[in-house]
Chain A
Amino acid sequence: MANSIMASSSKPLIFLSSNQPTRLPQIPKFSKLPQIPKPISSSSDLRTKTLSFSSATVKSLALIAAFAPPSMAEAMEKAQLFDFNLTLPIIVVEFLFLMFALDKVYYSPLGNFMDQRDASIKEKLASVKDTSAEVKELDDKAAAIMRASRAEIAAALNKMKKETQVEVEEKLAEGRKKLEVELKEALVSLEKQKEETIKALDSQIASLSEDIVKKVLPS
């Protein structure tokens, strides 16, 4: 805790430890900082105003303070990097406000909305799986209907085939009968003609034989 960091702006950021008092007078051009030598004597009451860090940070800061050139100290006096003040609690309050406001405006409403949407999408997906079973049933029904209709059609075809066959056979039989009758008629008429021609020939034979006899036998 020999080295500390100042909290207020009007005072130097870093003052050197009390066991190195000889270094301070070497710092040139302190026209801006007349109060620099004083803190060494009154460092005990200044320490009460300072903020302290853990040992690692203090060591590194002590290194910077011990080995930095005088101009560095001057710059650090201007530049207060570790200047803790009321800004810190104000930022805490602002952050908490932002957290609650964003929760009201953003995280909760949009999160709930997204969760609901996820749930509804999952439901819809599940219902889609159910209809696939229905589709299967319908498919089966359709196949059954197709089979039944095919059987019907086959039966009808067979019937038609039989009917037409019977008709065809009937017609064939008729045709055969007609043919047979015509054949018989034709045969009968042929026989008649045959007999007629034979008769005609017989009569001609008699005349011919008479002619032959007349020619052969000289009269």
Chain B
Amino acid sequence: MNVLSCSINTLIKEGLYEISGVEVGQHFYWQIGGFQVHAQVLITSWVVIAILLGSAVLAVRNPQTIPTDGQNFFEFVLEFIRDVSQTQIGEEYGPWVPFIGTLFLFIFVSNWSGALLPWKIIQLPQGELAAPTNDINTTVALALLTSVAYFYAGLSKKGLGYFSKYIQPTPILLPINILEDFTKPLSLSFRLFGNILADELVVVVLVSLVPLVVPIPVMFLGLFTSGIQALIFATLAAAYIGESMEGHH
């Protein structure tokens, strides 16, 4: 966050904020029953969901024994997700593949859509379309779901005995163990949010400064970071679930 504030700070000092037209944290609001929602996040998330569901339906509609291009790719992705879940959760990873896989795919496609899809063509009255993971609401929603998931995993596996892990090595560690339940979703959400927002900001600022050639390596770096962040989020979620499911020895 300090990095972010510094970048905004220097931008303002140099008077670039107005020139480049960088819009940080501006939202396009819809009113739903007296509540406000960030419309740009919802629109892009719908597009991401449509991309995921559509491509999955197209590729897996009629599975062949010898896979063709699309099916081959989706089999590769599924193997990858299963591999990640199995290494982190262990032998009982089966029921968690949909959760881990959807976390990975949703974050990955969201991040890459922010970098690759030409959202800027569609003009909004306020704010602009970008990756859904660019918004703190999305990342916090995913992180909270992860928290719920690992609590559910632990409780369904061990019942109320799950809570004995809070005093596991010694009862002295009780406050730290409780604190962990808050730091986990916090670190998950802020890591993703900060990385994606910073990445998009860097690209936008560089484009506004030097519109040719120079931002391209940074864009590729952004694609790389996006993929890594999706993998980190999914892996950590799986690790938390596995941690709460494993028996204490």
Chain A contacts to B: CB under 8 angstroms: 8-9, 53-54, 57, 60-61, 63-64, 68-69, 71-72, 75-76, 78-92, 94-103, 105-107, 109-111, 113-114, 117
Contact = CB atoms under 8 A, between A and B. Distances in A.
18 contacts: A60-B2, A64-B1, A80-B26, A81-B25, A83-B38, A88-B144, A91-B141, A94-B45, A94-B46, A98-B49, A100-B98, A102-B56, A102-B101, A102-B102, A107-B98, A110-B75, A110-B78, A111-B82
Contacts of B49: 94, 97-98
A83 B35 contact: no
A14 to B, nearest CB: 11
Given A54-B186, A71-B12, A102-B53, A92 B141 contact: yes
B135 interface: yes
Interface of B: 1-2, 4-5, 8-9, 12-13, 17, 23-27, 29, 32, 35-38, 41-42, 45-46, 49, 52-53, 56-57, 60, 63, 65, 71, 74-75, 78-79, 81-82, 97-99, 101-102, 105-106, 132, 135-138, 140-142, 144-145, 182-183, 186, 190, 197
Contacts of B78: 106-107, 110-111, 114
A89 B63 CA distance: 35
Given A72-B12, A82-B136, A110 B57 contact: no
A88 B53 contact: no
Given A68-B9, A75-B12, A90-B37, A84 B137 contact: yes
B41 A91 contact: yes
A69 B9 contact: yes
Given A78-B25, A98-B52, A72 B8 contact: yes
A132 B8 CA distance: 72
Contact of B98 (A69, A76, A103, A114): A103
A144 B138 CA distance: 77
A75 B6 CA distance: 13
A63 to B, nearest CB: 8
A106 B82 CA distance: 13
A88 B56 contact: no
Nearest to A74: B12
A53 B140 CA distance: 12
Contacts of B137: 83-85, 87-88, 91
Contacts of A54: 182-183, 186
Contacts of A71: 12-13
Contacts of A88: 137-138, 140-141, 144
For the complex of A and B, the 6 pairs showing the least CB-CB separation, nearest first, are: A79-B25, A86-B35, A87-B137, A91-B141, A106-B56, A79-B24
Given A8-B36, A54-B186, A105-B57, A84 B140 contact: yes
Contacts of A100: 98
Contacts of B138: 87-88, 91
Contacts of A68: 5, 9
A91 B132 contact: yes
A53 B189 CA distance: 12
**Residue among A63, A64, A98, A107 with the most chain B CB within 10 A?**
A107
Nearest to B82: A111
B29 to A, nearest CB: 6
Contacts of B182: 54
Nearest to B101: A107
A105 B60 contact: yes
Contacts of B74: 106, 110
Contact of A64 (B5, B27, B102, B105): B5
B126 to A, nearest CB: 10
A99 B38 contact: no
A75 B17 contact: yes
Contact of A111 (B25, B42, B57, B97): B97
Given A78-B25, A109-B60, A84 B136 contact: yes
A98 B37 contact: no
Contacts of B65: 117
A76 B60 CA distance: 46
A52 to B, nearest CB: 12
